Amino acid sequence: MKPAARKVLFLCTGNSARSQMAEALLQLEAARRPAGASPMEACSAGTAPKGVHPLTIAALAELGVDWRAARSKHIEEFLPSPPDLVISVCDNAKESCPTFPARVERLHWPFEDPAAAAGSDAQRLAVFRRVRDEIRTRIQQWISMK
């Protein structure tokens, strides 16, 4: 019998950039794991969802990830069926995360908010790329320990 997937929820405030990128990148990296590795299911949510930022979609597309159909989700969508692990990717979400059952593990990986970047579209996209790559590196390091 195949083991159940470990459900990982990335939590941010707006669920528009960091948590969306983390969800997509964990899906990408989990698909590359060797046969027999524990399966993982990635999802994301926000405490105050704003919609997926267009530069999130653009930054992921550069890696071959089509994220155009993604939507922002509120954390309350996951309360009836809690994840196994919640990874907050911003300090605000860490502080306002609802209480889950004791069995839900929590980690905090703070990243800069690329949606707050100023400048031209090219300058802002550069911030999204940098944060995307930081998230990907952190996920790869974490997965290598699993």
Is 90 annotated in the active site? yes
Beta carbons of 113 and 130 less than 8 angstroms apart: no
Of 11, 12, 26, 87, the active-site residue reads 12
Rounded to an integer, what distance in angstroms lies between the CA atom of residue 128 and that of residue 56? 7
Is 97 annotated in the active site? yes
Rounded to an integer, what distance in angstroms lies between the CA atom of residue 40 and that of residue 52? 23
Of 90, 115, 127, 135, the active-site residue reads 90
Of 60, 97, 131, 139, the active-site residue reads 97
Strand order in the sheet with 6-12: 40-46, 6-12, 85-88, 105-108
Beta carbons of 125 and 58 less than 8 angstroms apart: yes
The token duo for 31 is 């698909």
Residues classed as catalytic: 12, 90, 97
